[in-house]
Structure 1
Amino acid sequence: MTVDEQRIAALLQSASVPEPRVDVARAISDGRRRRRRRRTAGVAAVTALAGLGVVGAVGLGGAVRPPAPHPPSVVAAPTAVTSTAAGASPVTCAASWLPQPIGGPIAVANGVDPTGRYIVGDIGTGAEDGRVVLWADGEATVLPPGARHAAAVNARGDVVGTGGNGVGWVYRAGKLRFLTTPPGYHAVLVQAVNGRGDIVGTARGARESHQAVLWSADRPQDYRLVGRPGSAATAVTEDGSVVGAIGDLPYRWTPGGTAVALAVPDGFPRASVEAARGGWAVGMVPGERQDDAVRMLPVRWDLTTGAVSLLPFPGIRGVSGTGEVLADDGAPLLVAPDGTSRRLPGRPEVRADEAGTYSANGISDDAMTVVGAVYEKKAYRPLVWRCQR
């Protein structure tokens, strides 16, 4: 069985999952992506997973991301950050709290739609009681109890995810509906949704069989299997292209269903795709072995040209439609395709010596909205960063 087959099998076990979609050691996804809480198994390597649907939080089959500190180390962030790429206007970012409509010491924003308007996250105690929260225009809505472990939100405000029983769901126009599990499979893992309502994920069956699936938010009882058995889907772009893997190799499926292999960096045997936006995708490749695990290294694909490049930082949380990578090197960092970067700030009302550990989990298409959380005083609080030129 290949490493990616082991990964899908582990992630789609119909076991209970930890709650919520955060690394409880550092207020994160992965996620997962995203996504990313990692699927219905609650798999953990060095990183503790937060539930279903996170993209990129761990590698399976003995491959893990760089270890996260536990308990969280203090990262003092500046109160304002301004950066200027060559020939571009300065970008200034500021952090602010998201309202918490219900109580709970673990409250994290996990994802944001491409426009930056809709934000989705979880609030709970970490004991399988988490509730999904949708923020829009400064208001917070708690989704029905049947909606658990949100994976993504689109520009229409559609939220998708997977319950602890391995059943996918979509919350649209104030109504919760459940996705069909394809015959021959007993569980699904929902990963992403685009603006037109295409939902993607992976179905799992007996003897660790699995295949990528495409649903419609408008018609959640309809589905289409993507690729061949052994495929997995982790993202869908606005034009309907599905991104994922076949075995150990990364793939993209065109809206018409044609499979296109993505390049693997020279010298590496395999790669996984964790997230995609616009003409860009990000993922991981196995680096050097450390003790009994493999250190995973982040990569970025230009889906237009097919070029792939290794990224010079420890971890990734997502990618914008402009190709800016949301990176994790101890504090949230945005890195553009030309190599310029900008650090996200802390909150202005907090002294530097009291600053908590910040984690960013989702990014808008223009890279001007980022969402996440801060860990301080033994609790997580949800944050949004708004940037402007």
Structure 2
Amino acid sequence: MPSEIELLRALDDEPRTPSTVDVAQAISAGRRRRARRGAGYAGAASVTALAVAGASVAGGLVGGAPSPTTTAGAPRSTAPTPPKAPYTIPGTPGWSAPRATPPTDCTLHRLPTPDTAPMALVSGADPTGRYVVGRSYPRGGGYQAVIWHDGAARKVMLPGDLEESLQDVNSTGTAVGWSYVGGGEADTGPVPYVYRGGTVSALPGVRRGSAYAINDAGAIVGDDDTRRAVLVWPSATAKPFRLPMPAGASEVEAGDIDEDGTVVGTVDRDRAYVWFPDGTHRALPMPQVDGRPAAGARVFSIRNGWATGLAGASDGRGSKADPSASANPGTAARNQRTAVVRWHVRTGEVRIFDDLQPYPNTVNAQGWQIGTDTRKRAVLVTDAATVVLPALADGEPTGVSTIATTVSDDGRTVGGQSDDATGTIQAVVWRCR
């Protein structure tokens, strides 16, 4: 079982030195999301195992949260228009991926970095695996957004010089993400951007916010950094609209958007939620964890109706699991557990993955899951078997050092990161057959 120190490292979002794993970027996406300031390294233990008691699983960076004042140089804000039901979320109605044969073996390939940057990671990929996005850490310091196309790296020059990340990309090579823009801490904040045709543009309609996912129809999901609404941009040039929150909810986090326009997210940090293209919306069913209904659940990604996230068990007395106990399974009560969960949002099917560690994972169009097994190895879980993804460095890992982040619809390309022999994070892809 992972120790508290290992789990703290696993949610450290900032590789300050070699041997520091940037899991928050990796897991907060698989294709997605939520790299934010404010969570802090010391608070990682309370967010590791879902935070069913209210702490956020969203990975944060070391340092205080920026002030909610205006972002210098960002587009002026105009209030998104709430949709009227029934509304339509852009997508391809009735889309489904062709069935694929599960792979049985994968080989590891290190991705090149612009300017031979010493560290890099993968945060998203398109459904074919030809486009991969992430960021590198240049030798002189800072961050550099990167897009790889068929293995070749290209820098994406997002505005600002504080922090930046591309989070997702579709099969046309259009990528979305965010960058911190401002002249100082008092006026600094994330601005959502889109990269297409070699050009970077701010997404319209918000002053501050983040973009987390894009589908092949060009619809983008994100937020305005207030946690008061999930935003959908129908296209890269259209103003966003807000998805309706359930009655009584106080906050919501964006998750992902499917090809047909279905959107998933988390309400009040403990309720997995889905918005369908026809305007209807509802909570996802609460799974059973250790024989009892989970006390809370979060959802992070969706593909072809398959959604994946985390669910936390109650303590059997009607209260939610203690997230600090869940973050240290060696001392936690057996019935206070966080589990990886997969839903099918239309059929209601729910599955718990007992052999995966409780990190946010990603699913492809077949329902195949990537994650980290109990031996701290990156794995691809198919209908037929669990395929272990090799690491750059040989030997049994002493911590979570290899992380799968993305998986193509056919399961033949998996993206992620792996520590090299010096413990330095490298962006990698696995080619599977």
TM range (shorter): 0.7 to 0.9
The Cα shift of 1:204 comes to 3.5
Corresponding residue for residue 20 of structure 2: 25
Q: Does the Cα contact within 8 Å between 1:167 and 1:181 map onto a contact in 2?
A: no
The structure with the largest strand share of the pair is 1
Corresponding residue for residue 388 of structure 2: 343
Deviations 1:29-50 (A, max 9, x none): 244124546333242467869x
Q: Does the Cα contact within 8 Å between 1:27 and 1:375 map onto a contact in 2?
A: no
Corresponding residue for residue 8 of structure 1: none
Corresponding residue for residue 100 of structure 1: 113
Where in structure 1 are there 5+ consecutive unaligned residues? 1-16, 50-55, 66-86
The Cα shift of 1:285 comes to 1.3
Where in structure 2 are there 5+ consecutive unaligned residues? 1-11, 58-99, 181-188, 316-320, 328-337
| Counterpart Cα distance in 2 of 1:34 and 1:351 | 24
Q: 1:199 to 1:156 in 2, by over 3 A?
A: same
Corresponding residue for residue 419 of structure 2: 375
| Counterpart Cα distance in 1 of 2:259 and 2:350 | 21
* Aligned residue among 343, 346, 350 for 1:304: 346
**Alignment of 1:292 onto 2:316:** no
Q: Does the Cα contact within 8 Å between 1:234 and 1:275 map onto a contact in 2?
A: yes
The Cα shift of 1:63 comes to 5.1
Deviations 1:23-71 (A, max 9, x none): 973343244124546333242467869xxxxxx9774456587xxxxxx
| Counterpart Cα distance in 2 of 1:372 and 1:216 | 29
Q: CA RMSD in A?
A: 3.4
Corresponding residue for residue 194 of structure 1: 215
Equivalent residues in 2 for 1:37-116 (5 A)? 38-44=34-40, 59-60=50-51, 91-116=104-129
Q: Does the Cα contact within 8 Å between 1:279 and 1:304 map onto a contact in 2?
A: yes
| Letter matched to residue 278 of structure 1 | N
| Counterpart Cα distance in 2 of 1:64 and 1:245 | 10
Q: 1:93 to 1:358 in 2, by over 3 A?
A: same
The Cα shift of 1:259 comes to 0.8
Q: Does the Cα contact within 8 Å between 2:103 and 2:412 map onto a contact in 1?
A: no
Q: 1:178 to 1:378 in 2, by over 3 A?
A: same
Equivalent residues in 2 for 1:1-389 (5 A)? 19=14, 25-28=20-23, 29-36=25-32, 38-44=34-40, 59-60=50-51, 91-124=104-137, 129-146=142-159, 148-164=164-180, 165-182=189-206, 187-205=208-226, 210-219=228-237, 221-228=238-245, 230-247=251-268, 248-266=270-288, 267-287=293-313, 289=321, 292-295=324-327, 296-312=338-354, 313-314=356-357, 315-329=359-373, 330-336=376-382, 338=383, 340-346=385-391, 357-376=401-420, 377-388=422-433
The Cα shift of 1:162 comes to 1.6
| Letter matched to residue 225 of structure 1 | R
Corresponding residue for residue 71 of structure 2: none
Q: Does the Cα contact within 8 Å between 2:102 and 2:411 map onto a contact in 1?
A: no
Q: 1:119 to 1:42 in 2, by over 3 A?
A: farther
| Letter matched to residue 429 of structure 2 | V
| Counterpart Cα distance in 1 of 2:308 and 2:28 | 11
Q: 1:275 to 1:46 in 2, by over 3 A?
A: farther
